[in-house]
Structures are given as C-alpha cells and as structure tokens.
Amino acid sequence: MRGMEMSLNQTQKLRLQRALELLETLSSGINSNSSVTVADTIPVNQEDGVLKGHGTTELEGEVVATVCGVIERVNKLVYVRTLRARYKPEVGDIIVGRVIEVAPKRWRLEINFSQDAVLMLSSMNLPDGIQRRRTAVDELNMRSIFEDDDVICAEVRDFMRDGSLQLQARSQKYGKLERGQMLTISPYLIKRRKQHFHHLDQYGIDLILGCNGFIWVGEHVETKDNMIEEEPIKPDPQNNKSKTSMSLEEEEQTYTPLETRQNICRIANAIRVLSTLGFSITIDVILDVVDLSISKGLDIHEMLGAEFSVLVAEREAERRNSSTRRKR
C-alpha cells in the first residue's frame, strides 16, 4: 500500500487484506476493462463522433491514452482520469497555502499545484478594515500582514493567462492561520463539498479542509471584528517582531491549553491514518476515527501504529457495508 511504512504482523496483514477486499467489492462500477496504461488503444464505437479529452491523443486514426488511468465516457467525450490525480483548481475553491515570497504588491503562495498561486495586496483586507486604495506605505507594510512561511487560507478568484491561480482573502474567515498544524495529503482524497470550514465545538478546534490537499487543524479563533480600534501598525521594524517580545500577560492570554493541543494532535493523526489508507477525508469520517481512538483508549502517538490503521480499515469497511445494505 502506497505510503504504508509500518510493519504489520501476520494477523494484522490478514485483517487488513480482508477489509480492503471487502471495500473493493463494495466499490461501485470500477471494472478492470476500463483501466489503461500509456499508449493503450481506447476502444471507441464511432470514429467520427468522438471528442478526445484529457489524457488522449490520436495515432493513425485510433484514440490512444497518454497517461495511466481509468477511461471515462460522457456522451461523445472520452477522457482518461488518472488515479492519483493532481489538484485541479476551480474558481471558488477554498485553499490553504504557505507564503514563499513577498513580492511587489503580492504574496506568492505554495499550494499543491504545478505553479505557485498569487495573492494580490488588493485582494486582501487591510488590518484597519477601511476600504481604500493601497498606497506605497501599505506596500511597505506587507510583511506586517503576512510574512514568509505563514500559513494562509484563501479562495480561488480566477486563473491567470499562464494557468496559475489568483487568490482572494477578503472575508473574515480567510487570512493567516495560527496556533495549529498544517497537514499535506493527496488532493484527490478531499471532495468538493458545501462546507470546508468546520468548527468542532466539543474539542474547541477549527478544521479547514483545503481543496488542494492542505488541511489546517488549529485552535478555534473567534473571527475578530476589524472595526474595533486596534493598535495602529507603525512602520518601524520593532513592531513587526512584536510576536517575540510580548509581555507576560499577553503570553498568558494567547496560551493554548494542553487539552486543546492534544485534541489538535489527535485529529491530525486521524487525518494522517486516513490518508495513508487512501480513504476520502470528510468531517464525519474524521470524527468517527477520533471517537474510535478515544473509545479504545489509545494514546495519541499510538494512532499512527499498525494496529490502529487495521482497526480504521475494518471500521470503514463495516461502515460502507452497512450503508450499502441499508440502501438495498
């Protein structure tokens, strides 16, 4: 199994095998006839009415695959869908990214894509909340908003002409993410849903499932109202380092309690286990896995062990089995 670095003993291997086989039989409609490798010919019925889509090319009148994957047909369109697909961005996607460069009037973010995304200064709310033109002073103070290696949540605004993304972070729920963990998983495990921001009350944690495969698990932050008078940002370098030179009272206020930190780690480990096993990540599945680990009384670090992975696989197989039986 890709990414499975743990050693399983014999019984664990058998159990995992059985669970995976059960899942395979339950999976809908994937037959091995439709899987192709590079340069396999794709069987098409009418040669004149077929649209050659992504992953295909024409060779001597035949449609031939250029990637390894599964053939999908939609009316006259034939295309090859790769199994471990790269992230395909769409306008309106929620993205979690990391700043790699502060450039003139924009930030460059690394998202799990072939090119870096761009967040323009004008697509970002100013700290004082006023809607106004960005001046040269604003441009010089960009580092006080986001610096290198900051984790940011934003939305895809549109595509630039060369295919890279333009982002916008104009709402209160977007912006810098602090006090938490960012996880990287394969993008195809996160399906597009109505809600990507989840607030887990019982743990006091915010969970953001970025469509690009970056997930943020962090302490819950109340979205502040920017209209309240805050300390004006002074353009001198000393204030930018205010994070490191906080007074003791400020440090006490921003201290994350141990229980919240443990919950963050537990949820992050649950996501890691699910991504190693290759299951789709949704909020229900994550909460299910966390409940399973708490009910079994496992320590947080034990969640990454072999035994728990096998348990999660069995539980998922059982869950899907019962849901398909209910459908019938």
Q: Which is nearer to other proteins, 95 or 177 (CB)?
A: 95
Q: Which is nearer to other proteins, 32 or 45 (CB)?
A: 32
Contact code string over 260-279 relative to other proteins, x by CB under 8 A = ------------------x-
Using CB atoms within 10 Å of the CB of residue 212, give its burial: 0 to 12 exposed, 13 to 18 middle, 19+ buried: buried
Among 17, 37, 122, 262, binds other proteins (CB under 8 A): 37
Spell out the residues 6+ positions from residue 206 whose beta carbon is closer than 8 angstroms to its own. 180, 197, 198, 199, 200, 216, 217, 218, 219, 220, 221
Strands 56-59 and 117-124: unpaired
Tokens of 146: 């986001």
> Is residue 1 a contact point for other proteins (CB under 8 A)?
yes
At its nearest, how many Å lie between other proteins and the CB of residue 32?
6
Any idea which residue has 């896995």 for tokens? 289
Interatomic CA distance for residues 97 and 213, integer angstroms:
10
Interatomic CA distance for residues 274 and 286, integer angstroms:
8
> Is residue 70 a contact point for other proteins (CB under 8 A)?
yes
At its nearest, how many Å lie between other proteins and the CB of residue 123?
21
At its nearest, how many Å lie between other proteins and the CB of residue 184?
10
Q: Which is nearer to other proteins, 84 or 234 (CB)?
A: 84
Q: Do 97 and 110 contact (CB within 8 A), yes or no? A: yes
Among 115, 171, 254, 322, binds other proteins (CB under 8 A): 115
At its nearest, how many Å lie between other proteins and the CB of residue 63?
13
> Is residue 92 a contact point for other proteins (CB under 8 A)?
no
Interatomic CA distance for residues 160 and 108, integer angstroms:
14
> Is residue 28 a contact point for other proteins (CB under 8 A)?
no
Contact code string over 223-242 relative to other proteins, x by CB under 8 A = --------------------
> Is residue 35 a contact point for other proteins (CB under 8 A)?
yes
> Is residue 57 a contact point for other proteins (CB under 8 A)?
yes
Collapsing DSSP states into helix, strand and coil, what is residue 229? coil
Q: Which is nearer to other proteins, 77 or 83 (CB)?
A: 83
At its nearest, how many Å lie between other proteins and the CB of residue 311?
17
Interatomic CA distance for residues 199 and 172, integer angstroms:
15
Among 17, 58, 77, 84, binds other proteins (CB under 8 A): 84
> Is residue 14 a contact point for other proteins (CB under 8 A)?
no
Spell out the residues 6+ positions from residue 223 whose beta carbon is closer than 8 angstroms to its own. 172, 173
What are the beta bridge partners of residue 51? 77
Contact code string over 148-187 relative to other proteins, x by CB under 8 A = --------------xx------------------------
> Is residue 66 a contact point for other proteins (CB under 8 A)?
yes
CA-closest candidate to residue 272, choices 256, 289, 288, 249: 289
Using CB atoms within 10 Å of the CB of residue 290, give its burial: 0 to 12 exposed, 13 to 18 middle, 19+ buried: buried
Residue ranges binding other proteins (CB under 8 A): 1-3, 5, 20, 23-24, 27, 30, 32, 35, 37-40, 55, 57, 59, 66-70, 82-86, 114-116, 162-163, 278
